[in-house]
Chain A
Amino acid sequence: MSFMEAFCSPGVLCQILLGLSRTVILFIVASGLSLILGVLRIPNIAHGSLYMIGAFMAYTVSRVFGGGTLGYWMAVLLAPLGVALVSFIIERGIFSRLYEREHIMLFLLTFSFVLVFGDLVKLVWGAEYRSVSMPGFFQGSIRILGLPFPIYNFILLLVGPIVAVVLWLLVNKTKIGKISRAAAVDREMVGAVGINVSLVFCIVFVIGCFLAGLGGALVSPIVNVVLGMDHTLIMEAFLIVIIGGLGNIWGALLGALIFGLTQSLGILVWPQFGIVFPYAAVIVVLSIRPTGLLRSTW
């Protein structure tokens, strides 16, 4: 359909809402990435792998509790905690020893985790397609302007703002939030006033990875839980963080909005190259503001 036809049709609202539901997942994952990047200064490429582990853990937990409604809720609760545990282990075990190294080494170290996690997931869960079932009342679709809109996508639209609010409270209203914001700006100073910086880093890292796991668990009923789901997602998450402003969580939200909306509207206008639009948008943003839209903590 032509550009104008596509843009003025009732399907646009559906398309925008679909884009926003994608934004929610991207935001949850990217905010975790941004948090880690901002406070610990680690570009954690393994973040996508943790997202994938979250999705696979959701599958297992859901199976353990017999699938269906109970399985789903237990999965969304326990899988992110499982991922948080994994991240705790690797942070204490390996990362905490290397904070003084150069960025590029840390970057490559996180890449080694991408390789390791990729195969570990294959070892533990096998190479098959996995599916997580959702509760009965999340299935099916509602009608928006005459077009069917999947209910689960609608649920995601509700979850997004909740996560955003909780994050905002965490970062701005809690003590740990304030300390980590200070540590992001000047870690030496924070250490000098007697705060255990290492502990702060650990907590922030675990929370960031929890968010990745949460994203994976939430998305597991509607995408393919397969090996390789980490590779494209981490690229998108990184670009979002870059255009949002390194370390800025609200930048991650803005970036996720840009990404999700340009993609779904792009599909409407030019389905073949729909997924190219977000990348083009990234270039446009970086040409105007190379350091990102919002203030970065770097």
Chain B
Amino acid sequence: MGGKRSIIILLGVAILFAFLPFGLPRFYTYLTALIVVTGLLSTSLNFALGFGGIFQFHHAVFYGAGAYGAAVMIAKLNYNPWLAFIAGPLVAAALSLIIGIICIRLSKLYFGMLQISLGSLVWVIVYRWYSFTGGDDGIHGISVPSIISSSKGAYYFTMVTAGLAMFFMYRILHSPFGSTLQGIRDNVLRSQAIGVSVRRHQLAAIVIAGFFAGVAGVLFVVVDNSVFPDMMFWTLSLEITIMALLGGWFTFLGPMLGAAMVVLLRTFVSAYTEYWTLALGILLMLVILFLPEGVLGKVFEIWNRRGLTEDRG
């Protein structure tokens, strides 16, 4: 039924992406890779926010931690890049564990605010530690292994890694853990009543989300060969939340779609005007006012109503 069709479509998509660098100019290869990295980041945010119901208000910190972790290891400490690529997400996961443990005893809004405070502390330290992190300048020209340093190489590495990451997140969400997590999101008291350790599940969700944000950070280093403090700034955290919202945060692929929309909007609109932020702001306003489930969510709602989903056959 749906299963076989899904696989064929996925295969089609995979083939399309595999041949994209050969069909389009190099700029689009770079752009696609960037979209996928951003989409992965937004999906990891949504893992905690949309599926876990956790007020993950400063997710960008983990993205930056993964990126800076890898960047500093390669550029300042001269480690083997492959080691650095593995270390990056681990740094991000460790940071999310620490921040998670500190914040978890608070609920909802206070959790979010403490996370913003801790995240801002990490940001400001990175921002001022000029000798170690490059401070305001960031670190540029980070050398990556030559197989993946070309546009095509970076592209394929990104697609494969992101694809795996998305796959793992998907599997986790559709596992018993994932169901419990969503149950906690919907009703904390009931979950507690049936004996679920709410805090442990939420902490695990935060660490998983942070880990994959770190993966996105490392991929950014591969694609762009640079890191900069804005990767950890609160505006980025909100931007990726917007992407999740735009695309539909109760769906798995919504954030990826939202990321594509925002990055393309930025590239497309910037070619004509310098006021693309205005365009994004207005778009966000319209979505909040008229389309709070996001684009994908709205589409599903329409399809559901018209009986076009698999369940109705």
Render A258-292 as a binary contact track against B, CB cut-off 8 A, 1 for contact: 00000000000000110110011011001100110
**Interface 9-mer from A24-32, A145-153, A234-242:** A234-242
Q: Contact string, A168-210, partner B, CB cutoff 8 A, digits 1/0? A: 0000000000000000000000000000000000000000000
CB distance from A294 to the nearest CB of B (A): 15
A106 to chain B, nearest CB (A): 9
Residue-by-residue, is A29-41 near B (CB-CB < 8 Å gives 1, otherwise 0)? Answer: 0000000000000
> A108 vs B113: C-alpha distance in the bound complex, in angstroms?
15
A159 interface residue (CB < 8 Å to B) = no
Let me know if B121 is at the binding interface, CB within 8 A. Answer: yes
Indicate if the CB atoms of B284 and A279 lie closer than 8 Å: no
A262 → chain B closest CB, angstroms? 12
A295 on the B face (CB < 8 A): no
User: What is the distance, in angstroms, from B263's C-beta to the closest C-beta of chain A?
Assistant: 15
Separation of A242 and B274 alpha carbons in the complex (Å): 35
Contact A111 B284 (CB under 8 A): yes
Q: Indicate whether B172 reaches chain A with its CB closer than 8 angstroms.
A: no
- Complex Cα gap A262–B25 (Å): 52
A-binding segment of B137-145, B198-206, B237-245:
B237-245
B10 in contact (CB, < 8 A): no
* Shortest distance between the CB of A103 and any CB in chain B (Å): 7
Give Cα A246 to B19, complex, Å.
54
Q: Which one of A56-64, A114-122, A134-142 contacts B?
A: A114-122
Contact pick for B118, options A105, A120, A238, A283, CB 8 Å? A283
Name the contact of A242 in the complex, choosing from B117, B124, B128, B288 (C-beta under 8 A): B117
Contact residues in B for A287 (Cβ distance below 8 Å): 102
| Stretch of B163-171, B220-228, B275-283 lying at the A interface | B275-283
> Is B278 a contact of A120 with CB atoms below 8 Å?
yes
Report how many A-B pairs have Cβ atoms within 8 Å: 93
State whether the Cβ of B177 lies closer than 8 Å to any Cβ in chain A: no
A8 touches B (CB below 8 Å): no
Is A231 on the interface with B (CB-CB < 8 A)? yes
Digitize A67-110: 1 where CB-to-B-CB distance is under 8 Å, 0 elsewhere.
Answer: 00000000000000000000000000010001000011100110
With known contacts A113-B281, A115-B280, A119-B275, A286–B114 Cβ distance under 8 A: yes
Out of A112, A123, A272, A279, name the residue touching B282 (CB < 8 Å): A112
User: Interface size on B (CB < 8 Å)?
Assistant: 37
CA distance A116 to B285 in the complex (A): 10
- Would you give the shortest CB distance from B194 to chain A, in whole angstroms? 26
B116 at the A/B interface (Cβ < 8 Å)?
A: yes
Q: Indicate if the CB atoms of A111 and B128 lie closer than 8 Å.
A: no
The answer for the CA separation of A291 and B109 in the assembled complex, in Å, is: 10
Measured between C-beta atoms, what is the minimum distance from B312 to chain A in Å?
30
Q: A105-B288, A108-B242 are in contact. Are A119 and B117 (CB under 8 A)?
A: no
Task: Identify the closest chain A residue to B131 (Cβ).
Answer: A272
Pick the residue among A104, A231, A242, A290 that contacts B235 (CB under 8 A).
Answer: A231
| Cα of A298 to Cα of B130 in the assembled complex, Å | 40
Q: Does B189 contact A (CB under 8 A)?
A: no
B191 cross-chain contacts in A, Cβ below 8 A: none
- Tell which of A104, A118, A273 has the most Cβ of chain B within 10 Å: A104
Q: Does B30 contact A (CB under 8 A)?
A: no
What's the minimum C-beta distance from A93 to chain B, rounded to whole angstroms? 11
**Cα distance, A114 to B117, chains bound together (Å):** 20
Query: Contacts A105-B292, A113-B281, A116-B285; is A122 near B275 (CB within 8 Å)?
Result: yes
- Selected contact of B109 from candidates A103, A115, A231, CB within 8 Å: A103
CB-defined contacts of A119 to chain B, threshold 8 Å: 275, 277-278, 281
Give the docked Cα–Cα distance between A272 and B125 (Å).
Answer: 10
- Asked if A276 and B118 sit within 8 Å, CB to CB, the answer is no
Tell me the minimal C-beta distance from B209 to chain A in angstroms: 17
Q: Is the CB of B281 within 8 A of A282?
A: no
Residues of B at the A interface (CB closer than 8 Å) are 55, 102, 105-106, 109-110, 113-114, 116-118, 120-121, 124-125, 128-130, 233-235, 238, 241-242, 245, 274-275, 277-278, 280-282, 284-285, 288-289, 292
A-B contact pairs, 13 of them (CB 8 A): A103-B109, A108-B288, A109-B284, A111-B238, A111-B242, A113-B281, A115-B281, A116-B281, A118-B278, A119-B277, A238-B116, A275-B124, A290-B105
Q: Which 7 A-B pairs have the closest CB atoms?
A: A115-B281, A119-B278, A116-B281, A112-B284, A279-B121, A112-B285, A112-B281
